[in-house]
Structure formats: structure tokens, C-alpha cells
Amino acid sequence: MSLRMTINKCSNYEEVLVKTEDGYTHKCWYVKARNHKNKPVILYFPGNGEYLEKYVRTFDYITNRVDANIFSCPNRGCGTNEETPSEEYFYKDAYIYLNHLKQSKRNKIFIFGSSMGAAVALETASKYQNDVYGLILQNPFLSMKRMAHDKKPFLYFFLFNYDLLIRTRMDNEKTIKNLHIPILFNVSEKDEMVSTEHSKILYETCPSNNKFMYIAKNGIHDNILINDKGEYHQSMKIFIETAIALKDVNKKKEENKNR
């Protein structure tokens, strides 16, 4: 169940209220590209502890340069969603969002996840591969166990959510072994929180026949666009166009088989 309203009458942003499995109401955003009706939509999972308001510029860039719509909602315990965060409900909420897009007849769905959001994106895409055209992971990590071992500042968020930390696996290295849809890795070469080694191992582990990697030479964990001259969004646009073409080819093959 969802309720849609416009955030600003002159804006391409709409606020969508979505009911979760356990009865909470999550305030999500639907950000429209120009002539949005038949454009692909990106189900966008942000990093840990982040508000959607922080992403206005990011979303504007994607809608304008990639020419795709965006649907996004902050994680539990973040932004306007005040429930206690848990890995289980991160994934359950993600399914609710995906199902909302399907019921709204949004086709050409892509899933994007950054940092901790990459784990939610990967888990969702791996379970519902028939419903998704492609997956984009930005600065992902191998697993929460590996991050704890690395002792990176990424874990600062979990100091205030200790119960979440000790119950969280987020084993991307294991999950990605089941992924066969097109996937793009966006990697910040100067990432100070998650070593680029994590993305490279995930890339090698992934069995998809259509996997791509974009490396931002000057990007850091929270800003992949440092000194970017348009290559980042161009790479994403090409990936989305390629994934759509591949999906269409596969659909035609299936149709021919069933004749």
C-alpha cells in the first residue's frame, strides 16, 4: 500500500508513503526524469545513516545525465524512519519497495546500492533476478566480518547500533555467487573506508556473463565524482542501455522457444 504526493508543485520529486510488512510507514522519494513515463527506474539504496535530502544533487545528476527515474527510501534508523534497524528488515523493506514499483507498472527496473546499501541491493537483486534488468554496486564490501577485521571508520555507524553489528552478516561475497543479471561496479580508487580490493574480488567472484567495472581515479568513499568530467554518468547510462538491450534479446529468445 502506498500514498503519493508532490513534494513541490514545480518539482520532479514526489513523496511516496509505503507501508512496511510490520506496519510502519516509510517516506520514500520518486524522482522523475524528463518525459519519465517509459524511462528506466533505479531503486536506489543509500549508505548507512544517511538522509535522502543529502542526495538531491546526486539524484538530479542521475535523472538529467543518465535519463532514468529514481525511487529511494532511507534505511531503518535513518532519516524519517525511526524503527530499530536490522538486517532482516532491510531486506524485507527492499522487497516492499521493489513490489511497489512492480505494482505501479514500472518496467525496466534497475537496483543501485552504495556502501552498506550495496548489500541490500545485492541481496534483493539476487532473489528477484527475473524482475530486475541490472544491478549497480558502488564501493561495496565483501562482508561485515571482513570490514570489522579491517577496522575501518565505516563501522562508526554501528557503534551506536551494537545489536545490529553483532547480528549483521551482509556477506556479499557469498551472495554474489548466485547473480547472473548484468552488473556494474562503480569503484572509488581513493576510497579511504573500503579497499578497492573488495570490489575486485566481488567482480571476479560474480558469475554473470555481463559484468562491468568503472573506476573513478580520484573518487573517495562518499564522493565518487571528484574531478569527474562526465565519465561516471556516461558509464552508467551505457550500462543501463546495454542491460535493456540484453533483456529484450533474451525475451525474444524465450518467445521464440514457446512458439
Domains, the chain, in order of start with CATH, read 34-252 (3.40.50.1820)
pLDDT confidence of residue 1: 44
**Grid cell 528506466 in the structure block, residue:** 40
Please check whether residue 198 is in contact with residue 170, taking contact to mean a CB–CB distance below 8 angstroms: no
42: its cell numbers: 533505479
pLDDT confidence of residue 168: 63
pLDDT confidence of residue 48: 73
Cα(6)–Cα(172) distance, integer angstroms: 36
Q: How large is the C-alpha radius of gyration of the chain?
A: 18
**Grid cell 523493506 in the structure block, residue:** 93
Q: Euclidean distance between the first and final Cα of the chain, in Å?
A: 37
**Grid cell 565483501 in the structure block, residue:** 142
Task: Classify residue 130 as exposed, middle or buried by CB count within 10 Å of its CB (0-12, 13-18, 19+).
Answer: exposed
pLDDT confidence of residue 163: 46
pTM for the structure as a whole: 0.89
Mean pLDDT by 10 residues, the chain (259 residues): 46 91 92 93 87 91 97 81 78 96 91 95 97 98 80 50 57 97 98 93 98 98 95 98 93 78
Residues paired with residue 81 on neighbouring β-strands, in sequence order:
78
